[in-house]
Amino acid sequence: MKKIIVKRFHLLCVLGLLAASGCNTFESEPLEWTLEEDVVNPKDSLASTMKGLYYAVYYSLPSLHNRLSSSYLDAATDDGVPTRDMGGSSSLENYRNGRLSPENIASLDGNAWKNFYTGIRRANLFLEKIKDYPTGPNLTADEKKRMIAETRFLRAYFYFELMKRWGGVPMVGDNVFNYDDDWNIPRSSMKDVKNYILNEVSPDVEGSCYNDLYEAMVTVPTELESIVGRVNKGAVLGFLSHLKLYMASPLYAEKLAEEGETVAEKERWQEAADAAKAVIDLGIYGLHKTSVDDEGVAGTAGFLEFFGDAKTIAGNNEEAIFFKLSGDGTSPESNNSPIGYQRGKCWGYTSPSQNLVDAFLTLDGKRIDDPTSKYPYDPQNPYANRDPRLTYTIFYNGSTWLKRAVETFDGGLDRPYSPGRIATQTGYYLRKFLGLNENRNDNSGFNSIPHNYNIIRYAEILLNYAEALNEMDRAGNSGAHAAVIEDCLIQLRERAGIEVGDDGRYGLPTSYTYEEMQEIIRNERRIELAFEEHRFWDIRRWKIAEDVMNEPVRGVEIVKLPDGSFQYEYVDVRTSTFDKTKMYWYPIPQTEMVGNPELTQNPGWDY
């Protein structure tokens, strides 16, 4: 950990979040020379520098948009590939081609080990020094208490991010290490890391951070606008749903069992179900929808609006539970729009796969290979009568963007024959996360809007609940929760715009086995949460990556015929390799292994 435990550090005061808190005490010397003793000086009666450190802890939350190989983590799964990977040689493609190693893992996942330990150190430094700051008009006792509680939660969350990648990791407690300290710390067990997180945040644990947080809220009153994006009790409950679902899943449950935890399978899934139900029972969260139409039916563009409209994306809405704030900008639009819209300004960095496109349902909620669908799938007219989430997630040939049709046919504006131009690798571009620009009359630019990263949203909670209940039923209550499971899925499909059907089931079968419902839930999760950094971890926690990642990634080649129609040919665009003996867990970065002789490497990576 030597690389991240330092005394002289950069507080990133240039961030919008930090700028809001003021940076006047940094003026006497260059920012990168700011000393820790200056940052945490209790003589600063305005406490502005301490608030700067507090916001810097928030900055250590993970980001989402184009953060890896200019693409998304899920482009390292069967859901896509990074467009500009030069034939499979980008760092993100190392997840797919078997070239993952202790030497390159730091760069592959954005220095996750370093960054999350940096967040933990910032949190520890803040918690150590805030105790000495007097309360007053600029830092009330209540605000101080809440800041401490939020920081404790964030520290616990950083440990979760480390644990889901590496399993057990070194735990530094409340220590703030400097160069002359002994920071050679062995790894704790994953069981100990999990229990530490639960003790820090759980509502039923005396002394946890929970009771000192703001109440859960979705519509923040004007006088509290400054708390948008801050951790509240709803975020904690949402995180506990996420955590307990992971801990009940095969990969993590098997690891905990190896470490001596003896919790029955049904009990694990019961805990996960209860955690999701606690969020639902708050009664304040829901799926974001547009206003009702003349017939009183909710509009179906809520899914798109949630990701792309400035009025809702700020997080002050019913679906956002835990998110990282982002300043206004157009980077996701220019990074992901198809390349033909603005030469040198639209890069189309992410190429979703045919595998993912095929996972989207037909308009009546059936799989495309289901012979009972009233909309038979035609591979030569593949996007007709499909789940509207396909249109809201992926640019396909004929999609509309900025007043023209997307052209991903060979030689089209967005897949040209131009030498040296890198275009979609699969015949698709990523639509999700891009702002609503449809009232522009040209392609001269994009609307500047915030692009917050929704770490946990209500749709995930419904999916968590459905999954946990279905697994409980398999473990001993066959069919007991079928109606509740179906209701969770129906809520998602209704919001998406799936047809209700004569039976009111939105395409769900009237009878099914546990395995069939498991597949339905997993597929619903895949399409609803696409490119939100779930698929990458889901196929690992379910322990199906060894199957999924040893299949080719597929795409489409489209030829425009003389009569203006199109001919579609489906092709393999990437091969994938996944070694189940070691690749379910990350290797610890080699620099950390060298710097801390107490560390032990994950199995299979000792070389």
87-110+327-451+543-607 fold? 1.25.40
Collapse the DSSP code of 190 into the 3-class scheme (helix H, G, I; strand E, B; otherwise coil) and give the result: helix
Which residue matches tokens 């009546």? 364
Strand partners, 556: 570
What is the pLDDT at residue 467?
98
What is the pLDDT at residue 99?
86
What is the pLDDT at residue 189?
98
What is the pLDDT at residue 45?
47
User: Side chain identity at 380, as an amino acid letter?
Assistant: Q
Going by pLDDT thresholds of 50, 70 and 90, the confidence category of residue 177 is: confident
The 10 Å Cβ neighbour count of residue 342 is 17
Across the range 584-594, mean pLDDT stands at 95
How far apart CA 338 and CA 524 sit, in angstroms, is 26
* Span 232-269, pLDDT tens digits: 999 999 999 999 999 999 999 999 999 999 999 999 99
Residue 434 has pLDDT above 90, yes or no: no
Burial class (CB in 10 A: 0-12, 13-18, 19+), 604: middle
* Span 1-16, pLDDT tens digits: 433 333 333 333 323 3
Strands 350-352 and 80-82 come out as antiparallel
Strand partners, 588: none
How far apart CA 47 and CA 465 sit, in angstroms, is 42
CATH 1.25.40.390 maps onto the chain at: 87-110+327-451+543-607
Q: Domain 214-326+455-508's class? A: mainly alpha
Lowest-confidence segment of 24-38, 78-92, 378-392 by average pLDDT: 24-38
CA torsion angle for 493, 497, 503, 507 (degrees, to 10)? -50
Enter the tokens of residue 119: 């967040």
Going by pLDDT thresholds of 50, 70 and 90, the confidence category of residue 282 is: very high
Going by pLDDT thresholds of 50, 70 and 90, the confidence category of residue 102 is: very high
What is the pLDDT at residue 8?
30
* Span 370-393, pLDDT tens digits: 999 999 999 999 999 999 999 999
Domain 1-59+111-185 listed as CATH 1.25.40:
yes
How far apart CA 134 and CA 334 sit, in angstroms, is 46
* Phi, psi angles (nearest 5°) of residue 114: -65, -45
Going by pLDDT thresholds of 50, 70 and 90, the confidence category of residue 212 is: very high
User: Who wins on pLDDT, 46 or 421?
Assistant: 421
Nearest to 61 by CA among 229, 244, 307, 313: 229
What is the pLDDT at residue 42?
55
Lowest-confidence segment of 36-50, 151-165, 368-382, 534-548 by average pLDDT: 36-50
How far apart CA 599 and CA 331 sit, in angstroms, is 39
* Span 301-329, pLDDT tens digits: 567 777 765 455 545 688 999 999 887 67
Going by pLDDT thresholds of 50, 70 and 90, the confidence category of residue 294 is: very low
What is the pLDDT at residue 503?
96
Interhelix angle 458-474/514-528, rounded to 10 degrees, is 170
Across the range 547-555, mean pLDDT stands at 96
Across the range 325-342, mean pLDDT stands at 86
Longest CA–CA separation in the chain, Å: 77
Across the range 16-29, mean pLDDT stands at 31
Going by pLDDT thresholds of 50, 70 and 90, the confidence category of residue 39 is: low
What is the pLDDT at residue 40?
58
Enter the tokens of residue 30: 């260059």
